[in-house]
Amino acid sequence: MESLEKAGLAVNYNKERKTKSKSLPKRVHIWDETLRDGEQTPGVALTIDEKIEIAKMLDDIGVAIIAAGFPAVSPRETDAVKAIASEGLRNAIVAAPARAMISDINACIDAGVSEIPIFIATSDFRLKYQLRMTREEMLERLAECVEYGKEHGLVIDYIAEDSTRSNMDFLCKAYRVAIDAGADKICVADTVGFVRPRVMTFIMQEIKERLWTGSKYKVPIAVHCHNDFGLANANTLAAIEEGATYAHVCVNGYGERAGNAALEEVVIALEELYDIRTGIETEKMFRLSKLVERHFMIPLPLHKAISGDNAFTHSSGIHSHGQLTHSMTYEPISPIRVGRRREFHLGKFVGRHFVEYMLKMGGVRANEEQVKEIAERVKKTHEDIKKRQSKECFDKVKEELRSLRTGVSEREFWAIVFEII
């Protein structure tokens, strides 16, 4: 894009100072949740070896923090986190989350991690119906757990679960209590993907106004967004525009329900659209994406940005012709930037120029009429192939894909119950 700009051929409003927030950081640290929140994708259960392989690749591409798992879940999960923590990763800090419970923190300590994000909800709804605690009880528990973690020489973060549905006064009070107890970072969590980007901006501005006026409370802010309304990436970027410097992401956008902000999409948006450094070697992201897809066994949508099969594939004759004249015509970035390569789709929308290009590459000469006839035959062949496809076959493929989502059935659950009771 830069060469086109210098030549006066393209305008990039992303670089216009008026379009940038004054709070925009110069560096954002990527906090990866693939092995924790990502593994909570329904049907996913990674082996220790798979977790280690993913962790090593996350470390290799330059991720700052890896949430390696949730030790309190089971002894096997503790073993997995411990194995990753003992790998001696080069770039990444190995972290593991804990509920605001001393037993959870001890499980993280036993796993050998150096950073513990402690989470407990701040919304009155969650306090009443899930935790069954008063605000005062919650604050006492939070302070006790943060202090306990700091006494053990750990980096402690506070994740205010359900931040975006919390009373602002109480949310900021909880952040102050956590920081007073020693919390090193705080996190704004859009736990059910409930807000729009402008609201995330408002929340961040309110938090900064209430906390950052005093230097004691000016600790780094992280953001954790879910994708229930398809806004996880947008809300993450909105928080960063207001000064958040730690982005919680999952490879391929995996995670609970509709997933989390996608590592590859957030990273390339920050690098290319905001000119913010993330420390990520973007050329390695596609390889990471395919590795995680294979271990999760959750197929990516063909049209997914950055890592979907169609992301750099051109079908229209007009688009293909444009790409053959200059690669930036119908691509915002080079596929090489993210470890991909450009592809062209031969089908109903093929154009004369692409047929001529293919013939030239094959060392075949053809006159204008022959080129036209070849293009028409390609179009008709594609249409004929499409007619032979059946909706029944499609439904069967969908059912087979659905079967990849493993889990314990209700029947198997009750069989376990009756064996034990």
How much of the chain exceeds pLDDT 70, in percent? 94
Output the furthest CA–CA distance in the chain (Å, rounded): 83
Give the pLDDT confidence score for residue 387 in this predicted structure. Answer: 81
Give the pLDDT band of residue 330 (cuts 50, 70, 90): low
The count of other CB atoms within 10 Å of the CB of residue 400 is 9
Give the pLDDT band of residue 234 (cuts 50, 70, 90): very high
Where along the chain do the CATH 3.20.20.70 domains lie?
Answer: 25-296
User: CA distances (Å), 254 to each of 38, 42, 44, 68, in order?
Assistant: 5, 10, 10, 15
Give residue-wise pLDDT tens across range 37-53: 999 999 999 999 999 99
Give the pLDDT band of residue 405 (cuts 50, 70, 90): confident
pLDDT of 321 > 90? The answer is no
Give residue-wise pLDDT tens across range 192-233: 999 999 999 999 999 999 999 878 899 999 999 999 999 999
The count of other CB atoms within 10 Å of the CB of residue 166 is 24
Give the pLDDT confidence score for residue 383 in this predicted structure. Answer: 81
Q: What average pLDDT does range 322-334 have in this prediction?
A: 68
Q: CATH assignment of 25-296?
A: 3.20.20.70
How long, in residues, is the chain?
421
Give residue-wise pLDDT tens across range 148-187: 999 999 999 999 999 999 999 999 999 999 999 999 999 9
Give the pLDDT confidence score for residue 215 in this predicted structure. Answer: 81
Measured CA to CA, the distance from residue 184 to residue 114 in angstroms comes to: 13
Phi, psi angle pair for 270, to nearest 5°: -65, -45
Measured CA to CA, the distance from residue 236 to residue 117 in angstroms comes to: 18
Give the pLDDT band of residue 377 (cuts 50, 70, 90): confident
In angstroms and rounded to an integer, the radius of gyration of the C-alpha atoms of the chain is: 25
Give the pLDDT confidence score for residue 219 in this predicted structure. Answer: 96
Mean pLDDT of the chain: 91
Give the pLDDT confidence score for residue 359 in this predicted structure. Answer: 79
